């Protein structure tokens, strides 16, 4: 049970419109932090609890098992930067939230045309799964054509994935880590076989879907630096949810505007200002690509 965010932002120039967009991004980051601190969509009577106790530091309604982010930026001269950070400290602790906000603000305050791809994840680990920095999302995978960062909200069949990948000692991994490895490995091998990248991504997700147990989600972000091009994919799907509340917990919301596109776990909506809430929609299950100014559905799941 985790919370995820994928965001693409294009800053064409400084000015009032740029300032308004920077404010919107700051509001999204702030909402993500608050949603991680107290998630009304979790069980344990969390909706009532969060309404009355949002300032509580840690509780059953918190995603308290670490957080991480991946950011890729490039400017009009195609000069780029990569930021990758993970921590076992909860994202809503001051040391974490200040660092996160400071990194984003520094990028946004450059005052030059820039495109930013951002992935953010806060973790609430499944019972029995290990805790530690190496088990914190996003997971990074290096390969011959680039780098991938993968985050997941839900569960996966760890033993079956380890067997398919030929990996022993599955107890040394978390399920999402192996799921990401499976998807990236499939994409890499598919493209090697002269497959189109978009086709390979869709097929990778459709194959990986078979490793998602009943009553859990296949909500992911995949930030891909591929042959000097950047792609941000997301997925949304729930396997046979046991109730409407369970299904709703895995809903993904989206906002699309001329310069700002993001998708996020539905909890974030609870903490956004009304002007942003009005522009949100819940997306249908499937695989999508976030691009500057658009959200493109690549295929069904």
Confidence tier at 246 by pLDDT (50, 70, 90) = very high
Could you read off the pLDDT of 251-286 as tens digits, one per residue?
999 999 888 999 999 999 999 999 999 999 999 999
d(CA 153, CA 217): 6
What is the structure's pLDDT at 262? 97
List residues bridging with 163 in a β-sheet: none
Is the four-CA dihedral 159, 162, 167, 170 of positive or negative sign?
A: negative
For residue 10, what pLDDT is reported? 87
Q: How far apart are CA 287 and CA 183, in angstroms?
A: 13
Residue 283: helix, strand or coil by DSSP?
coil
Distance (Å) of CA 44 to CA 2, 50, 135, 212, 219? 16, 11, 25, 24, 22
pLDDT tens figures, 212-236: 999 999 999 999 998 889 999 999 9
pLDDT per residue over 107-118, tens digit each? 777 666 788 999
- Residue 227: per-residue pLDDT: 85
193-215 residue pLDDT tens? 877 999 999 999 999 999 999 99
| Residue 292 clears pLDDT 70, i.e. is over it | yes
What does residue 207 show for φ and ψ, rounded to 5 degrees? -70, -45
The pLDDT of residue 128 is 79
pTM (predicted TM-score) = 0.94
Question: What would the pLDDT profile of 58-75 be if each residue is shown by its tens digit?
Answer: 678 999 999 999 999 987
**Residue 171's pLDDT band (cuts 50, 70, 90):** confident
For the segment 24-34, what is each residue's pLDDT rounded down to a tens digit? Answer: 899 999 999 99
């Amino acid at each position: 049970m985790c919370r995820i965010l994928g965001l693409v932002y294009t800053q064409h120039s400084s000015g009032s419109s740029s300032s308004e967009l920077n404010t919107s991004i700051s509001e999204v980051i702030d909402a993500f932090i608050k949603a991680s601190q107290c998630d009304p969509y979790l069980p344990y009577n969390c909706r009532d609890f969060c309404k009355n106790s949002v300032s509580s530091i840690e509780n059953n309604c918190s995603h308290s098992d670490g957080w991480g982010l991946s950011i890729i930026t490039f400017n009009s001269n195609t000069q780029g930067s990569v930021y990758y950070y993970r921590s076992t400290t909860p994202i809503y602790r001051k040391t974490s939230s200040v660092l996160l906000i400071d990194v984003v603000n520094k990028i946004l305050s450059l005052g030059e045309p820039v495109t930013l791809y951002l992935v953010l994840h806060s973790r609430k680990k499944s019972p029995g799964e290990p805790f530690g920095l190496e088990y914190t999302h996003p997971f990074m995978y290096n390969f011959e054509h680039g780098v991938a960062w993968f985050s997941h909200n839900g569960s996966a069949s760890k033993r079956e994935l380890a067997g398919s990948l030929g990996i022993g000692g599955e107890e040394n991994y978390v399920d999402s880590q192996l799921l990401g490895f499976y998807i990236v490995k499939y994409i890499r091998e598919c493209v090697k076989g002269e497959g189109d990248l978009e086709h390979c991504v869709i097929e990778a997700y459709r194959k990986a879907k078979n490793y998602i147990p009943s009553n859990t989600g296949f909500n992911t972000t995949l930030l891909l630096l591929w042959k000097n091009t950047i792609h941000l994919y997301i997925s949304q799907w729930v396997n046979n949810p046991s109730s409407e509340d369970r299904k709703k917990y895995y809903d993904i919301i989206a906002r699309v505007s001329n310069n700002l596109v993001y998708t996020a776990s539905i909890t974030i909506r609870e903490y956004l200002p009304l002007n942003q809430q009005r522009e949100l929609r819940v997306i249908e299950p499937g695989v999508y690509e976030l691009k500057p100014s658009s959200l493109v559905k690549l295929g069904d799941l």
